[in-house]
Amino acid sequence: MLYIIGLGLGDERDITLRGLDAVKKCEKVYIEAYTSLLSFGLSAHGLSNLEKLYGKPITVADREMVEEKADNILTEAWQSDVAFLVVGDPFGATTHTDLVVRAKKLGVSVKVVHNASVMNAIGICGLQLYRYGETVSIPFFTESWRPDSFYEKILRNHNLGLHTLCLLDIRVKEPSLESLCRGKKQYEPPRYMTVNTAIEQLLEIEHTRGECAYNEDTHCVGFARVACEDQMIVAGTMKQLLAVDFGAPLHCLVIVGKTHPVEEEMLEFYKLKR
């Protein structure tokens, strides 16, 4: 049996009892390291906290490992109980559909243990989840690559009065350009897009496209470390949020659409006081 277990968004205490029961009976425990381990407090003591809680060692599985060695993991899961731990929910912002499909094709049984995902936890700012349009991802711009396919989606949501969740780029274990040239694997240090960078890039694109999807007076909500003890949620215009230091990752950004009075009332608590 392959258990795919959501860990939620904060730290090791955000696993569910159902999830913990499952981990405890598994012979092998993997944790995905694609995305947000750092935010999960796993850079320093986090992993050993998890191991202490579970009473067993955990193997960190980066994207490379899961892609290249999925068959090993699945063979183990065919013979015994294997846990694959995922920050957030297994089918939230980062999905693990691939692994499930491979497992099912091999006849390995799969059980999913759900948990909170950033895609529902942002509900805490008071904007109703059912009033969001399509979610967009904002990638880091480079000198030569400044994609703007998210712009149309934001514009559409704006025209419909819907809120837009912007998921911000995470670059973990990116091979360095130098290493690609030399054919030797070396990695860039991890990068996590801030709310500030996201807004800068968004305004640059609006400047180029000029179709009025938003401007520096558009109301937004910036989030850092959602659902963690030190989460930060600030509501304000793009211009205002540009000046806010949101601190450590992960960040995300919501562009506010048309609001209902009850949404406004809640947002009020998060607004910058002058």
Q: List residues binding a copy of itself (CB under 8 A).
A: 6, 8-10, 12-18, 20-21, 89-93, 95, 97-98, 100-101, 104, 112, 114-117, 119-121, 123-124, 126, 128-137, 156, 160, 162, 167, 227, 262-263, 265-266, 269
| Nearer CB in complex with a copy of itself: 38/119 | 119
Q: Report in angstroms how near the CB of residue 185 gets to a copy of itself at its nearest.
A: 27
DSSP 37: T
Q: How far is the CB of 181 from a copy of itself (least distance, A)?
A: 31
- DSSP designation for 193: -
Sign of CA dihedral 243, 244, 247, 253: negative
Residue 225 Cβ, how far from a copy of itself at the closest point, in Å?
A: 13
Smaller CB distance to a copy of itself: residue 45 or 104? 104
Nearer to a copy of itself, 101 or 212 (CB): 101
State in angstroms the smallest separation of the CB of 152 from a copy of itself: 10
Across the beta sheet with 232-237, what order do the strands follow? 136-138, 164-168, 251-255, 219-224, 232-237
247 — phi, psi (to 5°)? Answer: 75, -155
Structure tokens at 215: 């401007």
Identify residue 248 by its one-letter amino acid code: A
Q: Which is nearer to a copy of itself, 188 or 232 (CB)?
A: 232
Specify the residue, 123 or 247, whose C-beta has the smaller distance to a copy of itself: 123
As a whole number of angstroms, the distance between CA 191 and CA 198 comes to 13
**Please, what is the minimum distance in Å from the beta carbon of residue 132 to a copy of itself?**
7
- Distance separating alpha carbons of residues 225 and 39, to the nearest angstrom: 7
